[in-house]
Amino acid sequence: MDASVLRKRIYKLLIFSILMVLGILLMAFLFINHADDSLNKATYTTMDQEIDLCVQRVSSKKNTDLVLLNTFARNLNKETDLDSSLFEMKKESDFSSIQFIDMNHNVYSSKKDSKFSYNNLSDEYKDKIKNGFLGEQSTFKQKNKNYKLTYIVPVYGNENQIVGVLCADSSLKPYTDLMRKSISGGNLYITDFKDFYGIQKNLESNEVLAVIKNMNLSENVNGLIGVKGQEHGIVVKKIGIQGWYLCYVNSAKSLNYSMYVMSRTTNYVLMLFVIVVILLLWIAYRMMVKNNEEMEKLAYTDQLTGAVSFARFTQLVRIYALKNNDYSLVSLNMRRFKFMNEILGRDKSDEFLCRIVTCIKPMLKKNEIICRDSADVFYMLLMDTAENKVSNRIHAIFNSIRQNTKDFCYEYEFCCGVICNGARQEKYSFEQMLTNVMFALAQSKEMASENICFFDEKVHKKKEFENFVESNMQQALDSNCFEMVLQPKVDLGSNLVVSAEALVRWKLEDGTYLPPSSFVGIFEKNRFCSKLDFYMLRKAIQQIRKWIDMGIQPVNISVNQSKIVFYHENYISELKSLLKEYDVSASYITLEVLESTVIEDFKLFNQILLEVKKLGFSVSLDDFGSGYSSLNVLSKLTIDELKIDRIFLHIDSDLENKKTKWILEGIISIAKKSNIRVVVEGVESSKDDEFIRCLGANVGQGYYYSRPLSIDAFNDLIHKK
């Protein structure tokens, strides 16, 4: 159910309840006055409950009046006739008068003939106004002929500066009505232990008042007193308004039996009316309860699985953490859940998620929580903090889920991240716990199946490194801290350097370098590799331009292109722009794309490939054999170069080596017949060199021929050659 619908319904119920309360107040007043003896049978426990109710209602009434006055303060238009505005506000409220006092002590009043003057105010009143000018709101009592309450709230101008205060006076009648409704007869007084203002009195009020005036009353009195030889209960509690207390006295027995008999007929009529009103209120109450339950379910419960919602989970964990208790936070995720959706369907996948929660709930201890955030992401709060105990419990949960989901006939794996906030571990805030457990979850996805990753010092350092990389990568790009190095490619027929691959190194402020293996993976996850790929392509084209300007015959440079860049909507236009900017032929650049880029979208890849080749670029299929290679890929792509992955060179057994040789001979033979140049990378020894020459490869690349070289070192190399 939409939250706005619930709010509208609650608003309607609120109006309905207010009307019913007003009706019940009138009936309760008559009922109390005509049925004293039955209402005076309340026990001392009831008296305590009733005076608590009085205090609550007085506090609620006071807060309601302050809220109303604050609303008036916000809506007060200082540019119009203030007296008229205040008069209209008074008409809309129960206040007896409303005054606005600006910072210069000018007074505006809802009473046109008011003689209200700042100078005539009491010192206490002036102090409260000064506090209002400082942003404080206050409530205090005054006594002229009768007691009254005065409210003061600050009024803010357009620039959120205080421009004055709004003062409102209210008689005690609304409060006395509320308190009369809250008790069952007897004698109720407002007192500061000097004066007594009677709210509810009975025939014994004079005697009761005489007794309590002679007592040494204090806050929170709860006991017995004697009045005319009979025991009466007395309760004194603080009312929540400056210096005032409630003193409630009632007899333990019936006081007015004869009056009860005389008013019996009247009481029956009133009781019937009250029953009708109570019935209506009960209906309203049931509606309210239903809406509250729906609101709570909507806000605090995951609608699919019945687990705690993430919003409620964060509240509960924060509350738990305030007690300084040790606990562990667990994040749980399924590998390849989207494929389950595609294979089993949405309904079955939802049922699976529900089954997970059903399995976990019985395995939780008291105060432990299971939460579903979104899709297949779950969080758990566990009391255990020892890694072995937490690990055993999580594996037990995995086993339980597997036992109870066999009927789905689907193979799945879990990823799990854990952070412990134990006595011997470093203490984290909840926000840090949540961030770290998600990082641990991400790390577990890179591990073997169903491995649990605990956030520890090693993981923490990895997280810090990732934060360093992500915090500095843009600045490093803007400052040209990413340097291009070139690894030569050697023609196996002539043994000459015929081309090179552009590789990246990150130069730090201290002069050291970060290898690409330490940061490229992070760039791929956060998609920064798209910027780096264009950066490296620009660097390669710039170098071609420099060679041409120096009169040196350019060497073809291969530049890696991630699938994020290759499938970018402006990719072709960006390539055209670079060629035009440096006036370089595209024939000097080879774009290397991974095999996974091809498989991502074969049809779209071919479309982009044709556009790239029209511009004059060569295209190389990189790391062939590392993924889902097939001869079908070679037959359908018009590529210029095929790079055999290094894994084929690092095989130990003779049998596998023979099979590898047969496979590579077949691939190279097909490639050559298709006029595709074959490059083998990862050549690290003379044995590797002899092997690929025997296979008939065209070009070799690797440390056997040369490590990646700086531009100056590469220039020296090609000059020597």
372-421 residue pLDDT tens: 988 889 999 998 888 889 989 999 998 999 899 888 888 788 888 898 88
CB atoms within 10 A of CB 317: 20
Residue 182 belongs to a domain: yes
Residues 54 and 148 in one domain: yes
Residues 582 and 705 in one domain: yes
Q: Which long-range contacts (CB under 8 A, 24 or more apart) does 199-204 make?
A: 200/32, 202/36, 202/40, 202/255, 202/256, 203/255, 203/256, 204/228, 204/251, 204/255
Residues 364 and 444 in one domain: yes
| Selected residue with higher pLDDT from 174 and 502 | 502
CATH code, domain with 609? 3.20.20.450
Specify the number of domains making up the chain.
Answer: 4
**Rounded Cα distance, 134 and 128, in Å:** 10
Highest mean pLDDT among 459-473, 477-491, 590-604: 477-491
Residues 33 and 151 in one domain: yes
Residues 557 and 490 in one domain: yes
Examine the fold and report which residue of 153, 170, 187 is the final residue of a domain before the chain moves on: 170
Q: How high is the pLDDT of residue 289?
A: 67
Least reliable range by pLDDT among 14-23, 176-185, 190-199, 208-217? 14-23
CATH code, domain with 372? 3.30.70.270
Examine the fold and report which residue of 255, 285, 302 is the final residue of a domain before the chain moves on: 255
Q: How high is the pLDDT of residue 210?
A: 76
Least reliable range by pLDDT among 35-49, 133-147, 633-647? 35-49
Q: How high is the pLDDT of residue 584?
A: 93
Quick one: tokens of 641?
A: 């170069």
Instruction: Yes or no: say if 103 and 78 are a contact pair by the CB < 8 Å rule.
Output: no
Residues 372 and 234 in one domain: no
Q: How high is the pLDDT of residue 710?
A: 92
Quick one: tokens of 636?
A: 């359908």
- Domain residues for the domain of 196 are 176-255
Instruction: Judge whether residue 259 has pLDDT over 50.
Output: no
CATH code, domain with 180? 3.30.450
Residues 517 and 548 in one domain: yes
Q: How high is the pLDDT of residue 36?
A: 46
Residue 375 belongs to a domain: yes
Residues 17 and 106 in one domain: yes
Least reliable range by pLDDT among 104-118, 166-180, 258-272, 562-576? 258-272
Read off the pLDDT of each residue in 97-126 and give the average, rounded to a whole number. Answer: 84
**Rounded Cα distance, 672 and 665, in Å:** 10
Q: How high is the pLDDT of residue 423?
A: 59
Examine the fold and report which residue of 255, 274, 290 is the final residue of a domain before the chain moves on: 255
Residues 30 and 65 in one domain: yes
Residue 468 belongs to a domain: no
Residues 422 and 364 in one domain: yes
Helix (H, G, I), strand (E, B) or coil at 471: helix
Residues 409 and 548 in one domain: no
β-bridge mates for residue 504, sequence order: 484
Residues 228 and 203 in one domain: yes
- State the pairing for strand pair 699-701/482-491: antiparallel
Instruction: Judge whether residue 358 has pLDDT over 70.
Output: yes
